[in-house]
Amino acid sequence: MAVELLSESGAEDLLRCICFKTGPPRTIGVELEWLVHDVHDPRLTLSTDRREAAYGALRALPLASALTFEPGGQLELSSLPAASLTELIDSVSADLDAVRTSLRAAELTLTGIGQEPWRLQDRVLHHPRYDAMETYLDRYGTAGRSMMRGSASVQVNLDAGHEEPGPLGHGRRWQLAHLLGAVLVAAFANSAYSQGRSTGWRSTRQAQWADLDPSRSLAPDLDGEPRAAWSRQVLDTPVMCIRRDDGPWQVPEGLTFRGWLRGGGPRPPTRADLDYHLTTLFPPVRPRGHLELRMIDAQPGEDGWIVPLAVTAALFEDPAAAETAYRALKPLAETAGSLPAPRNPLWRNAARDGLSDPELHAAAAVCFATALEALPRLGASTAVCDAVAEFAARYVVRGRCPADDQPHETKDLTP
């Protein structure tokens, strides 16, 4: 098979074509990451043999979702695209029931917290990708290792939207995702601890994503046309690694993908290299044909993930709700200022303060009320609507988030 070499203009054209595939929003997906703990003592380090036996049994399950594992042993379920919110929830819930039953036989359990609160886990995956990723991220501090080995999230995947302007147009949805994203961080912040100590952040996970490296986790310029802005961001971000068939992957210093295209690397880059480079970028909203909203902490409880999924779907898929949310959220752009998410003041406030921040609290109140009005129009079940209403009453109305339920003293982390 011929290798598809790239020119700089060819790479730009590809990025504009593949990252925002427009059309009527018709499908929705979710990716759920979970920490895996001993059912009796979540602080216990799992042995390799115990983990492998449990994960081997999981791999044999007939799941609709894709099952994968993260470098620290976190479990991830990635749904198929679903035609409705109800179809998605039913499918993923069935998969989670099967996974929990299998883990229970090994006396293990899924834990919904955004960041491992007790200790930094050993890396259990030793693929060249993760070796190279750790080498690269270690240049910028400890946030990379903590992210790789101990973070967990709820990621909502949405169609990019119509080509035409309007509430469901791709430009409006791109803007909405970055404004609503800060509110989602604040409302669902659920990671106040790391290594047994309070970090001072409601979402330690989000704070770590912001500090990975100088550019890899940043949103592009939101004032520009989305395709052009994202294309520039991709090409001007440093290459994390250059793959090879044998031996360790090369981890260059200061080589952007644009620089590689201009002859700066050890060999010419290919289309496959560009595709791989895209998987090593971690902005809060990542366009991959559809939009990946990556900013939500894993949630407590067996079904806690349903609430952020339902709220996000309602505010994006219902045109009236999308318009109401956008108008309510637009003033947040002034607080965000000129810095990119997640390093601007709005996103920092969300990760640190949750809904105790008055501006985010007010915006969240509007968004949840709007979502509750829209969910029946999307065919959401009474149980889903009730779960969103209960979350709103427990947290949003009171200016709180799940992290505020976590203990305030290190000793209280003892089960």
Helix (H, G, I), strand (E, B) or coil at 81: coil
Distance separating the N- and C-terminal Cα atoms of the chain: 56
pLDDT single digits (tens) 156-194: 999 999 998 889 999 999 999 999 999 999 999 999 999
Report the pLDDT value the prediction gives residue 302, as an integer from 0 to 100: 97
| Residue bearing tokens 């259990």 | 124
Give 145-157 pLDDT, tens digit per residue: 999 999 999 999 9
Please write down the HEC assignment for all residues of 263-324.
Answer: HHCCCCCEHHHHHHHHHCCCCCEEECEEEEEEEEECCCCCCCCHHHHHHHHHHHHCHHHHHH
CA distances to 34, 65, 186, 233, 410 from 198, rounded to whole Å, are 20, 34, 17, 34, 7
Both tokens assigned to 126: 């030793």
Q: Which residues contact 393 (CB under 8 A, 6 or more apart)?
A: none
385-403 residue pLDDT tens: 999 999 999 999 999 999 9
Backbone angles phi, psi at 109, to 5 degrees: -145, 155
pTM attached to this predicted model: 0.96
Q: Enter the tokens of residue 215.
A: 């550019």
At 410 the pLDDT is: 41
pLDDT class of 4 with cuts at 50, 70, 90? confident
The partner residues of 203 in beta bridges, in order of sequence, read 191
Q: What is the mean pLDDT of the chain?
A: 95
| DSSP single-letter state for residue 403 | G
Give CA–CA dist 212/342, Å, rounded.
Answer: 11
CA angle (299, 215, 205) in 5-degree steps: 20
The encoded tokens of residue 81 equal 């695209």
The string of pLDDT tens digits covering residues 24-83 is: 899 999 999 999 999 999 999 999 999 999 999 999 999 999 999 999 999 999 999 999
Distance CA 368, CA 187 (A): 10
